[in-house]
Amino acid sequence: GAGVSQSPSNKVTEKGKDVELRCDPISGHTALYWYRQSLGQGLEFLIYFQGNSAPDKSGLPSDRFSAERTGGSVSTLTIQRTQQEDSAVYLCASSTFKLPEQYFGPGTRLTVT
């Protein structure tokens, strides 16, 4: 079946601009996660959604980062007033509620110039 999809695959933006990254989880997966992967920091958790529960935002690095999940499916990660240190690969993952295995999308490579 279809895996996790993300768009765009690459995004180049100027410092100070806002960006939106999209994630489409595997059909039927109720849990959705965002991670960030950068050279110096490895793979870091950002935010987690489960059904209609309040999201776990404990990994968001600043209030410039926000995310929403509409209709329990598609999610959008928004970064406002982008900074050069935001340059990284943003990865989305989904899982069923009862199992710990998370399945990742291909990522969005964000470059802030």
Partner 1 sequence: QKEVEQDPGPLSVPEGAIVSLNCTYSNSAFQYFMWYRQYSRKGPELLMYTYSSGNKEDGRFTAQVDKSSKYISLFIRDSQPSDSATYLCAMSASAAGNKLTFGGGTRVLVKP
Among 19, 21, 23, 31, binds partner 1 (CB under 8 A): 31
Residue 99 contacts partner 1 per CB under 8 A: yes
SS3 content of the chain, % helix, strand, coil (to 5): 5, 50, 50
Complete DSSP assignment for 30-81: -EEEEEEEETTTEEEEEEEEETTSPPB-TT--STTEEEEESTTS-EEEEE-S
Among 79, 82, 105, 112, binds partner 1 (CB under 8 A): 105
Smaller CB distance to partner 1: residue 64 or 106?
A: 106
Which residues contribute to the site for partner 1 (CB under 8 A)?
4, 31, 33, 35, 42-45, 48, 50, 56, 58-59, 91, 95-107, 109
